[in-house]
Structure 1
Amino acid sequence: VSGIAAAATNNAQGVAGLGWEATLLPLKVLDADGNGYADDLADAIRYAADQGAEVINMSLGGAVPCPWYVQDAVDYAYAGRVILVAAAGNNQGNTENFPANCTHVLGVAATDPDDTRASYSNYGNHVSVAAPGSGIYSTLMGGWYGYMSGTSMATPYVAGLAALVYSRYPTYTPDQVASAILDNALDIGTPGWDMYTGCGRIEAFSALWVGAHGSSPVCLEGVGPYLKSQTPNPNPQIVPGEIIVALRPGVSVEAVSLQYKTSAEFLPTLDAWLFHVPPGQERAILAWLRADPAVAHADLNYVVTAAP
């Protein structure tokens, strides 16, 4: 993934990353098996923004509506001129994955070498644009090179292009960067935006040469996958026994945790509380918390994977 976005270029070795001379800030949010938690993803987004990142690549996801605490982190980064891109997901059909379905995130579908949507690439309102994702030759761990496929491979192409656009147009806002990428994409599906390849397959030269078509992507006007709908998933993967809660000002966490017979752990980066509840009772307690006037937001902690 990192090699696709920013492998060293012009050195007659291996591959060339699309983001010419871009620097990387690798952040680990998944374990060795490719699984992780949504609250760690939210932490990483905020951390990257605070460290001055201009582009955040997220080749991961989970098949649920965008959790409020992840959306808050995305909004925080977006307000700091960060553009965020995320994988649309693999082998799930018309299924939306977060963070690709979060507002202000570009969801990336994958294409085959013949410029058609890859059969494994998820589709839906969370798809903003497409990029090559099948049989991609790039860097591997241990100094090796190899071929991989998936929307996780397509996403860093968009991230690398976003870095190029920022270098060419350093005063652009994230929405203008998105316009330069989406409005100059090659439309390979139904004219205009469609749920399979979004605004089309990216065209790096046109994005850099033409730049933004407007203050935000023109191809999304009247459609708006950049402002995502939320499609519930009846069986999401959750972290057992965890609910993330934001309380209203002046509310005592001790009183709320006592009321629901839970323990609470403060998450300073998210400015929220992690409530530890009995496994198997997460959804029942979540429903009570959401109905409680003392609670501003509450959501489960979801599992994210490298190949959703």
Structure 2
Amino acid sequence: MVGSEADGSNQIGVAPSAEWIAVKAFSAVGGTDADLLAAGEWILAPKDADGNPHPEMVPDIVNNSWGGGRGLDEWYRPMVQAWRDAGIFPAFAAGNTTDTEPGGPGSIAAPSNYPEAFAVGAVNNENELADFSLQGPSSYDEIKPDVVAPGVGIRSAIPGSGYGGKSGTFMATPLVSGTVALLRQADSSLSVDELENALINSAKPLTDGEFSESPNNGYGHGVINAFSAVSSVTTGLGTVKGHVFKDGEDTEEPTFTHKAPASASAGIAIPLSIQVEDNISVDHVTLEYRSGDGSQWETIEAERTGGDYKNGTYKVEIPGENVAEPALTYR
């Protein structure tokens, strides 16, 4: 997620400048449900050395490189829901095959299979699904994982002040958590839902012989793309422009209501308002006018200030410098 040397070199983390805290929930022989619940509560209000809770120090993301077994097991679901309510992004490893878990359809582990959890599977450097990465659908009949990230031979810090390569969905998940840190840096107001949408909509869809359509229960919505995700919340992914048409011909003329001003003065702007209605759609409203001794028509596009595309109020203003004697004509 955040790894680098103290001088900023050797940046192995996606977000090496992000701040990082941790809560110990496991011992060398594992962890209990009570330990994990206590750790989850600590995340909601991190405690200082004297045991005082600090909810104002709640983190932006919680990375969960742990999980249980497949199936419906909701013991930790209220905790994940509480994290989301607090604005914490809940990243969870999809889980790995073991001697007792062969993988395949429906194998994705709890809590990553919860609807509220953002589940991460693993791919290799060819964007092929890792053979150990557990698959959906979830116990809630949803596509899982949500996305995949590199998880095979990932260079990481290891105990003893060294570096080594590790593989697993528990290695892919921190890459997603680091990307979320970049997103929150780009826009700190993003909600958990908006963060999820940014990751999903910017992911590169992936398919193979088993998963022929995207999204799917192997790769989810695809492999994450940190650059595209951050770009989507800073500059957008693009724009859509056009018209939605209705079959058939529009044979009815639009109708309008307009009250002309009682008087006008040279050099004073004239605000105008018109109510326009059409049975299909009002595409635009244009004002044409000519003033003084001029014979050429000037045009201004009116702005819709109320109503909708079928029945709306449009307003426009003739600039004062264009209002001149002896006459003003408009239509």
Shift of the 53–119 alpha-carbon distance from structure 1 to 2, 3 Å rule, reads same
Choose the corresponding residue for 1:157, options 151, 168, 175: 175
Alignment match of 2:18 (pick from 19, 22, 41): 22
Q: Which TM-score applies when normalising by structure 2? A: 0.59
Q: What displacement does 1:24 show?
A: 1.3
Alpha-carbon distance in 2 for matches of 1:211, 1:201 = 18
Correspondence for 2:186 among 159, 163, 168:
168
Report the counterpart of residue 228 of structure 1 in structure 2. Answer: none
Are 1:141 and 2:163 matched, yes or no? no
Distance change in 2, residues 1:149/1:12 (3 Å): same
Distance 1:169 1:26 in 2: 24
3-state secondary structure, aligned to 2:202: coil
Specify the alignment match of 1:68 in structure 2. Answer: 74
Q: How does 1:60-139 map to 2 (within 5 A)?
A: 60-65=66-71, 67-91=73-97, 92-94=102-104, 95-125=107-137, 126-139=144-157
Q: CA RMSD in A?
A: 2.1
Q: Which structure: larger Rg? A: 2
For 2:103 and 2:70, how far apart are their aligned partners in 1?
Answer: 14
More helix by share: 1
**Distance change (3 Å), C-alpha of 1:161 and 1:66:** farther
**Greater relative contact order structure (CA < 8 Å, 6+ sep):** 1
Residue 96 of structure 1: how far off its partner (Å)? 2.1
Q: What are the within-5 Å matches in structure 2 for residues 19-58 of structure 1?
A: 19-33=15-29, 35-51=30-46, 52-58=58-64
Contact 1:85 1:159 in 2 (8 A): yes
Structure 1 residue ranges (4+ consecutive) displaced by more than 3 angstroms after TM superposition? 9-15, 64-69
CA 1:135–1:73: 2 relative to 1, 3 Å: same
- Which residue does 1:195 correspond to in 2? 217
State the 1:192 CA deviation: 2.7
Structure 1 residue ranges without an equivalent (≥5): 215-308
Deviation at 1:8, TM superposition (A): 2.7
Identity of aligned residues (%): 27
Deviations 1:54-86 (A, max 9, x none): 101111111044543411111111000001011
* Superposed displacement of residue 9, structure 1: 6.8
The answer to whether the 8 Å contact 1:179/1:211 transfers is no
Count how many residue pairs are aligned between Structure 1 and Structure 2: 209
TM-score for the superposition, normalised by structure 1: 0.64
